[in-house]
Amino acid sequence: MDIKMIRVPIPTPTLWPHTSTNCYLIGNDQESLLIDAGYDQLETKLGLEQAIKDHGLATPKSILLTHAHPDHAPGVRQLVDWSPSVFCHWKEQKAVLNAIYPMTEVTTVDDGDSIRVAEVDVVVFHAPGHTAGHLNFYLPSKKVLFAGDNILSEGTTWIGKPDGDMTDYIQSLKRLQTMNLVKLGPGHGDWVVSPQRQIDFVLNRRLMRETQIKELIIKYKQLTSTKLTELIYQDNIHPSVFEVARRTTEAHLLKLIKDGYIIQDKLNYLMKP
């Protein structure tokens, strides 16, 4: 029996320009699972249960979390009457338990593990960067990847403190490039029907930004992360996301320090002598 893959956008207070978080129902009328659970609000439960009814799916008994951020995980609290098993990466376990409390149990998984639903394998794909324990979920039978916040339908995701790491993120993107995908379910926005193009776009944007940061430091000798962000975006950024843009700039700077290109002097960054 074939399975359904249903994108359920749930309104959440997420970052501009997006206004919802995607939850995905995978399965059929006998068995299904849920990828991500959205925000802790009644709309989460109502939206998911309406989608289950509309598409004739079984109530999910497993919830797979890409990561623990408040627009992806705490909605589990709204779904406790499903008696679900909750899955996350072991590096995300503490944050997930905090996010879904008073639920106190999760099953930890790692790269290469698989979870079976409706006679189909969902393969766990550890893709750190946005968070250390960020997971993607891959359906080999469909060549479909559910990418969480690693890939969005529009723009790029933010990477930075306290959870993110730019070196990890770039390596995850390079690994995604090797996959022969036909469709990608992003954490926010519509289905991505040209996955390779979007993955290439995001990776190239990150590499371009790294080069731009080095060029600006060379030009101005030393810069703070705030000033760098102002120079990069030149006011072409929504005020509500300036701080996460600055943190992403800072993540690039920390990578460049690790790579031996720049050094930090208090709040300033300058090229390594």
pLDDT tens figures, 209-246: 999 999 999 999 999 999 999 999 987 888 888 999 99
Same domain, 128 and 149: yes
| Number of domains into which the chain is organized | 2
Same domain, 68 and 193: yes
The confidence band for 16, taking pLDDT boundaries of 50, 70 and 90, is low
Same domain, 103 and 133: yes
Order of all β-strands in the sheet with 120-126: 114-117, 120-126, 135-139, 144-148, 183-186
Same domain, 197 and 217: no
Q: The CATH number of the domain where 55 resides is what?
A: 3.60.15.10
Which of 163, 187, 203 is the endpoint of a domain? 203
Read off the tokens for 230. Answer: 């102002």
Same domain, 50 and 183: yes
Same domain, 70 and 140: yes
Domain enclosing residue 192, as ranges: 4-203
User: Is the per-residue pLDDT at 17 higher than 70?
Assistant: no
Q: What is the mean pLDDT of residues 249-267?
A: 97
The beta strands (E) that lie in 166-253 are given as 183-186, 222-224
202 φ/ψ sector (left φ>0, alpha ψ -120 to 50, else beta): alpha
pTM: 0.95
Residues 98, 66 contacting (CB under 8 angstroms): no
- Quote the DSSP letter at residue 154: S
User: Is the per-residue pLDDT at 107 higher than 90?
Assistant: yes
Same domain, 196 and 76: yes
Q: What is the pLDDT of residue 1?
A: 60
For the chain, give the mean pLDDT. Answer: 95
Which of 161, 185, 203 is the endpoint of a domain? 203
